[in-house]
Amino acid sequence: MQRKWFQYWFNSPYYHILYSQRNDEEAEFLIDNLTAYLKPAAGSRILDIACGRGRHSIYLQKKGFDVTGIDLSEQSIKYAKQFEQKHLHFFVHDMRKLGYINYYDLAMNLFTSFGYFDTEKEHVDALKSFRKSIKDNGQVVIDYFNTQKILKNLTHREVKTIEGIDFNIHKFVSEGKIIKNIDFSHKNKPFAFEERVQAFSKGDFERMFEKSGLEITATFGSYGLEAFDEEKSDRLILVCKKI
């Protein structure tokens, strides 16, 4: 089976260099607001889907929850495992495949860690596994970018210089996906990666949720949990429950 773009890119050390400005403060701000809104009981079991290096998981555990982080990137999980303890565990796992059934109080998929697959069926399969992993009264939270605003303000070409590396970034839209080509040289070696994320709208999520047995109970447009505005909001944050 051919490896997908995300299996290469998320396992690369350059991915973490390019996105090193993603700060813990922002992650903690979102978690503080979400937990204040959702009010999970102390000790609740939380699944962090596509957890990366675990910044959300680590903070959730500090807040008194029992947290499992999963990610497809072996390198990210290897890094996250250094923080493991009694109520914090990390595993290499594909979100499309089911782990535990009716086990978690809350499943979270944060920071646009969705939309990576080629077909809608794969995304629906992932959502079905999210749904099956939570208890009957459990909740799922998906935090996506606001596609409408991204498309309207797409910066087609830019150069980001981080740790002495000039990342040449070219963004464009093709076949319903927002594609980012990333080219750079390091130690006289050329590198090229890409990101391909589906340009899902709120309507797309509603359709996929219906197919996967979930329904939206709340919608927010920012990490401060402000109301969602398709024109202005930076994020599309969806809170769901089982139908």
pLDDT, average across residues 37-63? 97
| Confidence at residue 103, expressed as pLDDT on a 0 to 100 scale | 97
Residue 106: pLDDT over 60: yes
Exposure string for 129-153, b = 16+ CB within 10 A, e = fewer? bbbbbbeeebbbbbbbbbbbbbeee
In the predicted model, is pLDDT for residue 23 greater than 80? Answer: no
Residues 27-47 pLDDT 10s = 999 999 999 999 999 999 999
Q: Over the stretch 111-166, which tens digit does the pLDDT of each residue have? A: 999 999 999 999 999 999 999 999 999 999 999 999 999 999 998 999 999 999 99
Digit-coded pLDDT (tens) for 226-236: 999 999 999 99
CA distance to 33, 56, 75, 109, 110, per residue, from 30 (Å): 5, 9, 25, 12, 9
- Among 228, 59, 32, 69, residue whose Cα is nearest residue 145: 228
Q: What is the pLDDT of residue 1?
A: 55
- Beta partners for 143? 237
What CATH architecture applies to the domain 5-145+201-242? 3-Layer(aba) Sandwich (3.40)
